[in-house]
Structure 1
Amino acid sequence: MSAFVVTLLGAESTGKTTIAHALGAVLARRGERVAVVEEYLREFCDGAGRTPRIDEQRGIAAEQTRRIAAAAAACDVVVADTSALMIAVYSDQVFGDTGLYDAALAAHARADLTLLSALDLPWQPDGLQRDGPQVREPVDAKIRAALARAAIGWAVLFGQGEARLANALAAVERARTTPDDDGRPRWQWVCERCGDVGCERHRLLPSL
């Protein structure tokens, strides 16, 4: 992938789609070639009129990865409204199936920045895809655990409206200007207030 790839993760109703489109629009206005990759799971559910079966999860994850790679080959910046990792997490949450994690994490590791949407937005219903507010905390925990196992860093997005977008933009700007040891940008800041992973807001997060 030649583009700078930003991937949004998060439990349901945490503003991933809103931030993906808003972030993409801001970067496009700056003159960059930007692609916003939609969530294929939503397209699948809308088309099938149901949620996927366990045997359909792997194909959905693969298609999400394929679309991100295709966009990255043609643009300067890709903003992905989720990755295959979210399919792996939901397959684990819904079916107890942990077989999708390895491939999903390998694909996700090719992203340049992971933005994890915090649970500070109110839950809202949205058709077939949302199970209820009670699933958000366990899903969030599974995302964090998977990223930690793969040693993939992430930035947590907090805030309402424009504040959340501003935090996303700050994360992108920092990641694109702060290279890690192998020369690839990597984001280390975990919230909009500070970079101290020891503060009480980060007590459940691994050290990055």
Structure 2
Amino acid sequence: MSAGRVIAIVGAESTGKTTLAGALAERIAALTGAPTTWVGEWLREWCAREGRTPRADEQAAIAAEQQRRIAEAAAAHAWVVADTTPLMTAVYSELLFDDRSLHGLAAQAHRGYAATLLTAVDLPWEPDGLQRDGPHVRAPVDRLVRRALLDHGLAWSVVGGTGEARVEAALDALAPLLRAHAAPDAGLFTRLARREAAQAAWTWVCRDCDVPDCEHAARRLREAAPR
């Protein structure tokens, strides 16, 4: 990954990855003033073209093409938001075909990214093309994504909330990365200072912080805190 800073968005199906990718790219462009784009999910296009879901032997090529598109965008832009990565292909290959052979490629790709965002399973499931299996797979996929990130020692931030709150949560997670690249008068520092002043101090860390129920409980506590 030679030029662009890549922000990867991963997560189970119907958790708002595509919507978040587009909105986040727009906000990053405004905050940094730098060329920014987002890369869509190649699997979506593949399924529409072929009229079916891929076989086990077709997974590796799909993962490679997703990474090629991310790398191509990164070579031409300062910032790239990736709506899914080879990690998701690896996870689904493991879930559907009991094949873990793509995890090495996925981990290598993520080590070249600037940040990884994991979308929380807190949105209603919606049908959207052949690549979606149903709401019953969201929890297993979420667990596999988390385990893969943990197994490979990859850092990530969970992004939850609905609508604009989800975009704001993503910007919160990316604040340390974006601070050094904020455009003059972009309002990033003022915005962050106000948010940090409004949030209660973080005084406790859960040893099970990769558990979705724990995240949801923590979010409810934050939302209930006086502002």
Same-fold call, TM > 0.5? Answer: yes
* Structure 1: unaligned runs, 5 residues or longer: 179-191
Change (3 A) 1:48 1:193: farther
The aligned length equals 192
Counterpart CA distance in 1 for 2:200 and 2:49 is: 41
Match of 2:153 among 151, 154, 159: 151
Counterpart CA distance in 2 for 1:49 and 1:193 is: 50
Structure 2 length as normaliser, TM-score? 0.79
Match of 1:48 among 47, 50, 56: 50
Deviation at 1:26, TM superposition (A): 1.5
Deviation at 1:204, TM superposition (A): 2.6
User: Whose helix fraction is larger, Structure 1's or Structure 2's?
Assistant: 2
* Structure 2: unaligned runs, 5 residues or longer: 181-198, 213-227
Counterpart for residue 105 of structure 1: 107
* SS in structure 2 of the partner of residue 28 of structure 1: helix
* SS in structure 1 of the partner of residue 116 of structure 2: strand
Maintained 8 Å contact 1:21/1:36: yes
Q: Find the structure with the greater CA-based Rg.
A: 2
**AA aligned opposite 1:65:** Q
* SS in structure 2 of the partner of residue 43 of structure 1: helix
Structure 1 length as normaliser, TM-score? 0.86
Deviation readout 1:77-136 (Å, 9 max, x if unpaired): 000001001000001111111111111111121111000000010111112111111100
Match of 1:167 among 155, 158, 169: 169
How many percent identity over aligned positions? 50
Deviation readout 1:3-55 (Å, 9 max, x if unpaired): 11100000000000000000111222342201211110111001111111111
Counterpart CA distance in 1 for 2:154 and 2:200 is: 21
Change (3 A) 1:91 1:193: farther
Deviation readout 1:118-159 (Å, 9 max, x if unpaired): 001011111211111110011001000011011100000011
Counterpart CA distance in 2 for 1:87 and 1:26 is: 27
* SS in structure 2 of the partner of residue 22 of structure 1: helix
Counterpart for residue 188 of structure 1: none
Change (3 A) 1:144 1:74: same
Deviation at 1:201, TM superposition (A): 7.9
Deviation at 1:194, TM superposition (A): 7.3
RMSD: 2.1
Counterpart CA distance in 2 for 1:201 and 1:160 is: 24
